[in-house]
Amino acid sequence: MRFLVVDDSSTMRRIIINTLNKLGHQEILEASNGREGMERLNASDVDMVITDWNMPEMSGIEFIRALRTVDKVKNLPVLMVTTNAAKDDIVEALRAGVNNYIVKPFTPDTFKEKIEAAIPK
Amino acid sequence: MQDLMVSTLVEATHEVFNTMVARELSEEAPIVGDALRPKSNVVGTVGFTGSEKGLVAFYSTLDAANEIAAAMLGMEAHEVNGEMPDAIGEVTNMIAGSFRTKMAAHGDPWAISVPTVTVGSDFYTKYVFQAERVLLPFHMKDSPLYVELILMKT
């Protein structure tokens, strides 16, 4: 599987990539905000998107809304990794088109479980 | 309310360190007011606003900050080269974010800011607004760490 990890924090991208590597995933693209994420999606084939919420230029929510309008990628599974975990946040993210939600701080086991749940059967 | 906020912030701090830094913290009793000014080289802050307004600040020595960054990134502390401020920003963001989520069980969720990180020496953070301050001392082995709750008086 090829992943796109979108987060403005280089630390968080590295943590997510290390976690994906531990889970056996090696093909990973990176972007530091939603606008860059859209550019990567237009230029490459990706199987799953993992995105932060709060980012400059284009937030995670704006990014998900944008990708859901593009034929090539509109059905991609999208996981959101964020500290925004109040009930209202989750409702907003689900309405924007998130498939699953990972709350920071997280464990590798949680990550694995959420990825597996988001893979289309 | 302040007692609930303090205990929730302590819980959020332990959760972040146990899960993302793989370090156990020991804690001391909270210090109310600004009697103790932490000797720290690295300070991360995240603001929040809503039914309560204020800041969460995280204080660390340079060595401890590099150890935290290394643990988060899966490297040795001596290999850390420029990654530390972003890592401390993310630690502060996760502590404040987890605190905000837990507090949302008691009212509407607050909005929180992106983190800012200051690295330097011999500085002290003052605020232009009237504030109540509660300092939470922790230890990561021999390294002192502090989390401060700064509440704007309304």
- pLDDT (tens, 9 = 90+) of chain B, 154 residues, equals 689 999 999 999 999 999 999 999 999 999 998 777 787 899 999 999 999 999 999 999 999 999 999 999 999 989 998 999 999 999 999 999 999 999 999 988 899 998 999 999 877 777 777 889 999 999 999 999 999 999 998 7
Mean pLDDT of A84-111: 91
CB contacts < 8 Å between A and B, how many? 64
For domain A2-110, the question of CATH label 3.40.640.10 is answered with no
Q: How distant is the Cα of A16 from the closest Cα of chain B, in angstroms?
A: 10
Chain A positions in Cβ-Cβ contact with residue B86 (cut-off 8 Å): 9-11
3-state SS of chain A is CEEEEECCCHHHHHHHHHHHHHCCCCEEEEECCHHHHHHHHHHCCCCEEEECCCCCCCCHHHHHHHHCCCCCCCCCCEEEEECCCCHHHHHHHHHHCCCEEEECCCCHHHHHHHHHHHCCC
- Joined tokens for residue B141: 């082995």
Say whether pLDDT at A31 is over 90: yes
Pairing between β-strand B31-32 and β-strand B143-152 as defined by DSSP bridges = unpaired
Q: For chain B, which domains are there? A: 2-152 (3.40.1550.10)
- Joined tokens for residue A30: 């990176």
Contact A85 B101 (CB under 8 A): yes
Taking only residues 50 to 89 of chain A, the set having a beta carbon closer than 8 angstroms to any beta carbon of chain B reads 54, 56, 82-89
